[in-house]
Amino acid sequence: MKILILDLIMYNKSRSLYNKLIQPYFASHMPKLIKFWLSSHDVKLMVLTSTPRIKDLPDEVSLVFIQTYTMNYYLAQAISKYYRSKNIITVIGGPHTLSYPTNPVFTVTLLKTSRSSLFYLMRSLRNIQHNQEIVLTTNSSLESVVLESESKFILGKLVTYITSQGCDNRCSFCRELSYTDLSHDLYQDLVTLLSLTKPVVLFFHDANLSNNLNKLLDSLTRAYEYVESLGKGVNELNIILELEVEKITSTTSNSMKLLGLKSVSSGVETFHRGLKRGRRELTGKFQYISPKNKMISTSKNINKIVKNIPNLQLNMLFGLDNDCRELENKDNIFDLTKEFIRRTPKAYINFQTLTSFGNNTRLSQQLISQGRIINVPYNLLDGYRLSNIVLDCDPILFYSKYAELIKYASSLRVGLKRVALVNDKYTRLYYLLKLRSERNSYNHFINIVNKLKTDTSFYNFLTGKSKTVPRWLKAEVEPSLGEFSLFA
Ligand code: SF4
């Protein structure tokens, strides 16, 4: 059977250099696994980093899988309609379906994809018509399908890998999924990668690799020693992962440097009043920390570890109620974040606005019950363009300060200083490309502020007073679909 798998990963739909060079590194794990599991068929996997043209997609297929995030759902829908108009069965899966399980323009919606659900689907195909609507789910989670010997076969220049599923931190804005260790074959898989003869980028897709960091460093050390002892040379391995910076000590950051960890990404709380384990932590008590002290201690900690990691990206989320309430204060999150950037020049900050997807986080459920979710069109729900929450402050003030912060962070002075401090050529290129896209982001938010000031319908929409989506917001959807807008 001829099968097409589409992985829609684009953050913006253009054919920019950033999309071409950087986006492929964000290719998803599951589409590769599906390709591997279905390897007895004729399978083509396409990772789309910009809106495709109709002629880019093959016609002669019997089954099309589409993995998508919410921000690309309209494109996924249009592509599905295109294939279904040719009597071809379409299947949707990925983060969007977990948040929004109803997807009527697809033949099949896969929730919690696993090998068993996939094989069940393949066995059922002869009974499925392209114009049906079926939701398939499975109770088996990722542990039954990833790793063992399989991950070794997902090879290319970029290898995606998972050592765990879920996280026990229970942040209110994150999907609750209990932690499961999946790292059984880590050592053996690292030996395989280090024995190859072509450089590999190894991208860990764990939501939070902190629990397995020591195991990773230990397995890497042993794998390097073992492959070295074979005398055939050790392959170059560039590692990218996501973990909590608080879990990195000076010792682990030294090991990370020695073992070739190229890029670490971590969530960092914005600097509002919070609780911190203090000296009395042995008694199990916490102490309050002021926003300014929180910023200073985070900066000190990061400056200690950033020496050893070429690319340290800190993800910061803006729009939580605590942030909004303190906007007028002297030590508000925006001014403190600017100060943080001054004190921590080598770290790169990825700014995102709070976005709610469906009802699968505690925060989303709370916001839904408070009537604070705005029906912002899906294409804007990427965390970089518009929060779909009624903020606990005036949106004009919030977005003005947010735009100013992005302007500061993307200024040539700050950006070029960071580039000069880094001694890895790929990281330098990454930061330069990011600098350009951040300037566009600043223009976008200034535009939002101007619209809020001049367009009452937009102001009412973002403050929850009106449910009507402004016409100009709706009008942005169609052009983003390119030729597929014909099927929207
Ligand atoms: S946001 Fe990060 S640390 Fe918090 S629960 Fe999710 S994965 Fe864990």
Same domain as 165, residue 226: yes
Q: Select from 413, 270, 423, 274 the least CA-distant residue to 351.
A: 270
* Residue 446 maps to a domain: no
Ligand 1 atom 4, closest CA: 171
Q: How far does residue 65's CA lie from ligand 1's centre (Å)?
A: 28
Give the mean model confidence (pLDDT) for residues 49-67. 95
- For residue 173, the ligand 1 atom closest to its alpha carbon is 1
Task: Provide the pLDDT confidence category of residue 27 given band limits of 50, 70 and 90.
Answer: confident
The pLDDT score that the predictor gives to residue 276 is 60
Q: How far does residue 244's CA lie from ligand 1's centre (Å)?
A: 9
Judge contact between 52 and 76, C-beta under 8 A. no
- For residue 244, the ligand 1 atom closest to its alpha carbon is 3
The pLDDT score that the predictor gives to residue 73 is 96
Same domain as 129, residue 190: no
Same domain as 157, residue 95: no
- The helix (run of H) or strand (run of E) holding residue 21 is helix 17-21
Q: Which of 163, 172, 174, 317 is the best mutation target for the ligand 1 pocket, counting ligand atoms within 8 Å of the beta carbon and taking the most?
A: 174
User: Which of 223-227, 304-308, 347-351, 473-477 bottoms out in mean pLDDT, i.e. has the lowest?
Assistant: 304-308
Instruction: Write out pLDDT tens, residues 68-114.
Output: 999 999 999 999 999 999 999 999 999 999 899 888 899 999 887 87
Token digits of residue 94: 């990925």
Residue at a domain's end among 187, 222, 243: 243
Q: How far does residue 173's CA lie from ligand 1's centre (Å)?
A: 8
Q: How far does residue 312's CA lie from ligand 1's centre (Å)?
A: 17
* Residue 429 maps to a domain: no
Judge contact between 327 and 183, C-beta under 8 A. no
* Residue 48 maps to a domain: yes
The pLDDT score that the predictor gives to residue 140 is 47
- For residue 174, the ligand 1 atom closest to its alpha carbon is 6
Same domain as 129, residue 14: yes
Instruction: Write out pLDDT tens, residues 247-268.
Output: 887 778 888 887 878 889 998 8
The pLDDT score that the predictor gives to residue 116 is 81
Whether pLDDT at 9 is above 50: yes
Whether pLDDT at 150 is above 80: no
* Residue 377 maps to a domain: no
Asked if residue 169 has its Cβ within 6 Å of ligand 1, the reply is yes
Asked if residue 207 has its Cβ within 6 Å of ligand 1, the reply is yes
Whether pLDDT at 281 is above 50: no
The pLDDT score that the predictor gives to residue 15 is 65
Q: How far does residue 81's CA lie from ligand 1's centre (Å)?
A: 35
Q: How far does residue 267's CA lie from ligand 1's centre (Å)?
A: 8
* Residue 117 maps to a domain: yes
Mean pLDDT of the chain: 87
Whether pLDDT at 143 is above 60: no
Whether pLDDT at 148 is above 90: no
- For residue 175, the ligand 1 atom closest to its alpha carbon is 6
Q: How far does residue 199's CA lie from ligand 1's centre (Å)?
A: 30
Q: Residue 171 is part of a domain; what is its CATH number? A: 3.30.750
| Phi, psi torsion values for 25, nearest 5 degrees | -70, -10
Same domain as 183, residue 100: no
- Chain-centre distance for alpha carbon 87: 33
Same domain as 154, residue 137: no
Q: How far does residue 351's CA lie from ligand 1's centre (Å)?
A: 16
Same domain as 211, residue 126: no
SS3 of residue 224 by DSSP: helix
- Chain-centre distance for alpha carbon 54: 27
* Residue 424 maps to a domain: no
* Residue 378 maps to a domain: no
Asked if residue 177 has its Cβ within 6 Å of ligand 1, the reply is no
Give the mean model confidence (pLDDT) for residues 116-138. 83
Same domain as 173, residue 114: no
Ligand 1 atom 3, closest CA: 169
Same domain as 76, residue 59: yes
Q: Which of 169, 242, 265, 364 is the best mutation target for the ligand 1 pocket, counting ligand atoms within 8 Å of the beta carbon and taking the most?
A: 169
Q: How far does residue 255's CA lie from ligand 1's centre (Å)?
A: 24
Asked if residue 171 has its Cβ within 6 Å of ligand 1, the reply is yes
Same domain as 126, residue 40: yes
Instruction: Write out pLDDT tens, residues 297-348.
Output: 899 989 988 888 888 999 999 999 988 888 888 889 999 999 999 999 999 9
Residue at a domain's end among 205, 228, 243: 243
Judge contact between 399 and 449, C-beta under 8 A. yes
Classify residue 126 by burial, with Cβ atoms within 10 Å: 0-12, 13-18, 19+.
exposed
Q: Which of 172, 178, 206, 208 is the best mutation target for the ligand 1 pocket, counting ligand atoms within 8 Å of the beta carbon and taking the most?
A: 208
Same domain as 201, residue 132: no
Q: Select from 86, 69, 97 the least CA-distant residue to 6.
A: 69
Q: Residue 93 is part of a domain; what is its CATH number? A: 3.40.50
- Show the domain range for 182: 144-243
Asked if residue 167 has its Cβ within 6 Å of ligand 1, the reply is yes
Name every residue whose Cβ is closer than 8 Å to that of residue 212 and which is 6 or more positions away in sequence.
Answer: 163, 164, 181, 183, 186, 206
Asked if residue 174 has its Cβ within 6 Å of ligand 1, the reply is yes
Q: How far does residue 157's CA lie from ligand 1's centre (Å)?
A: 28
* Residue 137 maps to a domain: yes
Residue of 450 and 322 predicted with greater confidence: 450
SS3 of residue 345 by DSSP: coil
Q: How far does residue 176's CA lie from ligand 1's centre (Å)?
A: 9
Same domain as 88, residue 12: yes
- For residue 207, the ligand 1 atom closest to its alpha carbon is 7
User: Which of 21-25, 336-340, 366-370, 407-411 bottoms out in mean pLDDT, i.e. has the lowest?
Assistant: 21-25
Of all residues in the chain, the percent with pLDDT exceeding 90 is: 50
The pLDDT score that the predictor gives to residue 113 is 80
Q: What angle do CA 266, 359, 267 make, to 5 degrees?
A: 5
Residue at a domain's end among 141, 162, 193: 141
Number of domains in the chain: 2
